[in-house]
Amino acid sequence: MTDGPAEGASGLLDALYEDDNAVLRALRAGVSAESCDGEGTTALYLASVADLPGTVRLLLAAGADPNRASGPGGGDLPLCGAACGGHAEVVEALLAAGADPGLREEFGFTALRWAVGLGHARVAEILLAHGADPDLPGPQDESPLLVAARRGSVSTVRVLLRYGARDLTRALEEARRTTDVERELRGTLRAMYGDVADDARVRRTPVDGGVTLTLELLRDGEPYASVDRQTGHGAIATLLESELGLRAPFEELAARALRQGDPGSENWLVVVGTLWERGDEETFQAAAAWTAGGDPLRRVLGVDVLARLGFRDGAKPFAARAVPLLRELAREPGGVPAPRPAGEPAHGPVDTTVATRARRALGQYEEPTDGPANEGPSGAR
């Protein structure tokens, strides 16, 4: 193992930015796979951060240590660098070569902590499958589940729950607390840079059945600082309540579903699936009341809940009352399009008219209609 730049190291480091053949030539010429630059950053770490899986495999095969700390003061780990970037193939290669998913970088960060904090659900799943502890706390004694709930990544929370994460109560408190992601992000930037009201730009990117909301500070029209989170906090709160056996009030669930204004979002789908599973008289009454209200999107929510309410083992306990109500709604002339919030991207071609959704709901009861039918929203899981 070298402690600093070795003879020929620069050739290997330069080869990283060419191609795998150049790396292979350098290794065959005798350059150590453990080579590092003048700051102690190893070739393996650089290849891991740059998402070069072929190069990573070559270096590992030539003897590079997947657990060797890198950089000034030895504060960086290849596995953490790959996890931070969401580089799933590199993470798999490092783990296959013996990388320890429990090792900590400087300040107490593990690879799993990086993955969940940035919403890289696939990487989190790979780490957990290779033995990462789903409850190992990171900085500030925060569990991965708590961090994932703050991030708002529904898929990451689901992965952690599948692998037995237990910090449910604190994670639920965090998910319930976050109801306005943009306001949260502005508060974060304000604490770091002062008033951000006039020079901040908001970007919304569809991801993970929701939206990644990025708030950027601009200087001369160019971003110089940014923070981002996903928007699945409503779905996460609902999932965690189910895990804990808690029953949230109907209006709280409706508020979560309607938060993004999108029947294709995880916030909507998880709420609808949870209400389907409740399948009781109180839920039927709430859904029927929503269909009779004046808010078009809330009416669609009521329709979607009625579509499979209480379905279990072939039983459709509310068919006698739901079908006549849905038939009446399906006859509305074209329905009233339910609006999306300004700037909020759609997650596919979701028709949000009450009449169309009612016709689709009737399809779940095997009621032929003149309109299209499909399976409606997915369940809670």
Per-residue pLDDT at 273: 98
Q: How far apart are CA 32 and CA 244, in angstroms?
A: 53
CATH 1.25.40.20 placement within the chain: 9-133
Give the model's confidence band at 1: pLDDT under 50 very low, under 70 low, under 90 confident, else very high.
very low
Show the tokens assigned to 202.
């908001």
Higher pLDDT, 340 or 145: 145
pLDDT digits (tens, 9 = 90+) for 242-281: 999 999 999 999 999 999 889 999 999 999 999 999 999 9
pLDDT digits (tens, 9 = 90+) for 116-142: 999 999 999 999 999 999 999 999 999
Per-residue pLDDT at 9: 60
Per-residue pLDDT at 369: 52
Per-residue pLDDT at 344: 44
Cβ(79)–Cβ(101) below 8 Å: yes
Nearest to 349 by CA among 379, 326, 372: 372
According to DSSP, the residues that pair with 213 across neighbouring strands are 204, 229
Query: How many percent of the chain have pLDDT more than 90?
Result: 74
Q: What is the mean pLDDT of residues 344-366?
A: 76
Cβ(270)–Cβ(235) below 8 Å: yes
Per-residue pLDDT at 219: 84
322 burial via Cβ count (<10 Å: 0-12, 13-18, 19+): buried
Give the model's confidence band at 4: pLDDT under 50 very low, under 70 low, under 90 confident, else very high.
very low
pLDDT digits (tens, 9 = 90+) for 300-314: 999 999 999 999 999
Higher pLDDT, 54 or 345: 54
pLDDT digits (tens, 9 = 90+) for 74-94: 899 999 999 999 999 999 999
DSSP symbol at 139: G
Cβ(179)–Cβ(233) below 8 Å: yes
| CATH number, domain 9-133 | 1.25.40.20
Per-residue pLDDT at 65: 97
Per-residue pLDDT at 351 exceeds 90? no
Per-residue pLDDT at 198: 62
Per-residue pLDDT at 379 exceeds 50? no
Q: CA-CA distances (angstroms) from residue 335 to 281, 296, 355?
A: 27, 9, 5
Q: How far apart are CA 362 and CA 370, in angstroms?
A: 11
**How confident is the prediction for the chain on average, in pLDDT?**
89
Per-residue pLDDT at 343 exceeds 50? no
pLDDT digits (tens, 9 = 90+) for 170-229: 999 999 999 999 999 998 988 888 876 567 899 999 987 789 999 999 888 888 899 999
Higher pLDDT, 236 or 3: 236
Q: How far is CA 26 from the centre of its chain?
A: 40
Per-residue pLDDT at 56: 97
